Amino acid sequence: MKKLIIAGILLLFAFTGCTNNQTTKESDSVNSISVESSSSTKEPETTKESESKKIVEKNESTEDKVQNSPESNEKNNITQQSPPKTSEIESESSTETSKEDLCKYLESKYPVENAHYEVSDPSFNNALQRNDFDIYIISNNETMDTYITGLKDGTYTTDDPIIHNIFNVAGEIIEVLPQEFNDVHIYLVSWIGQNRENNILLIQDYS
């Protein structure tokens, strides 16, 4: 009888020990699962933060490229350029050809031996909105004056090389200068002696 009681007590202790071991194992298993679940839950947050940083960096890089692109720089340059001042535009449009300008042009393009050019002050024609000028070929010596006198008294004719050349020059001047200078009209070209007394009208434009 005593042996049966002792055996029952031993079985009871053995059963209690197994139950505690099983409870401990289950608790350890639950803790392990909880830790894994916690770690697996945190990983997506880290991934999301990393992806968010990548998106921000990509956006910043895109903005830098746009700002530094040639198109952007060109637009900025166009924006920064200020339009010309009204006074500058008016100054450019109001610039007129002077008699000094015409004189320099004639001396360089149509030089006449033993003579020089003089140009009258402009006479503004309101109807045609242009400046009328007179051109004078002035003899530099008495020899040239003899051609003027001879042409008047018949000693010389327009077939003479010097006289013929001067008439040709006068024709070109009255035709070419208005083409070279838009605001200029040549009213006449005269040949004047050194003493300013003798003169011949070479050509005149009445238009």
**pTM recorded for the entire structure:** 0.55
Q: C-alpha distances in angstroms, 86 versus 91, 92, 93, 96?
A: 9, 10, 11, 18
Tokens of 110: 């149509």
**95 vs 124, which has greater pLDDT?**
124
Could you tell me which of 129, 118, 144 has the C-alpha nearest to residue 184?
129
Contact 163, 139 (CB under 8 A): no
Q: Read off the pLDDT of residues 112-166 as tens digits, 9 standing for 90 and up.
A: 999 999 999 999 888 878 899 999 999 999 999 999 999 999 999 999 999 999 9
Residues ≥6 apart with Cβ < 8 Å to 152: 198, 200
- Domain extents in the chain: 2-69, 96-204
Contact 97, 184 (CB under 8 A): yes
**67 vs 149, which has greater pLDDT?**
149
Average model confidence (pLDDT) across the chain: 74
Residue 41's pLDDT is 46
Bridge partners of residue 132, in order along the sequence = 123, 185
Question: Which CATH architecture does the domain made up of 96-204 adopt?
Answer: 2-Layer Sandwich (3.30)
85-97 b/e (C-beta count within 10 Å ≥ 16 → b): eeeeeeeeeeeeb
Q: Read off the pLDDT of residues 32-45 as tens digits, 9 standing for 90 and up.
A: 444 444 444 444 45
**123 vs 73, which has greater pLDDT?**
123
